[in-house]
Amino acid sequence: MAELKTKENARSVDDFISAVEHEKRREDARVMKTMMERITGYSATMWGSSIVGFGAYDYTYDSGHSGRSHRTGFSPRKAALTIYIMAGFSEYGDLMAKLGKYKSSVSCLYIKKLEDVDLAVLEEIITRSLAFMNDTYPEGD
């Protein structure tokens, strides 16, 4: 089985964000880092080469595959700011309708710029997702 590449590491989050080429994406990444540290209570850490993660959890699939990942996080990618909502979006229809301009996939929220969304709604989505993760994967288990 292939080894997971996206592991927590000691790279500097601030250095990573400072090196983001797109100025607006760099500014939004700084806002997200501050917001997520406040919401989660976790310090930002690097996961792989381009994900800023908050907290961690261990998982094991029915197949036996296991690993470790961040409870929530983001990546200031070239095309969009990608926010990892590990719980997915199926329970957040009320909030998604009020969020603003975005795209999403299974657990990724893609935002071109933070001005396109309601930050209070985004905070509530992150807060609810973190609560789901904490209920599903309690710390210390």
Q: Which residues pair with 109 in a beta bridge?
A: 83, 104
Return d(Cα 58, Cα 136) in angstroms, integer. 11
pLDDT digits (tens, 9 = 90+) for 14-33: 999 999 999 999 999 999 99
Predicted confidence at residue 1, as pLDDT, reads 45
CA 70 vs. chain centroid, Å, equals 8
Rounded to a whole number of angstroms, the distance between the first and last alpha carbons of the chain is 25
Residues in the chain: 141
Domains of the chain in sequence order: 8-136 (3.90.1150.200)
The one-letter amino acid code at 124 reads E
Return d(Cα 131, Cα 29) in angstroms, integer. 22
Instruction: Output the pTM of the full model.
Output: 0.93
pLDDT digits (tens, 9 = 90+) for 58-102: 988 888 888 899 999 999 999 999 999 998 999 999 999 999 999
pLDDT above 90 for 49: yes
Return d(Cα 91, Cα 72) in angstroms, integer. 16
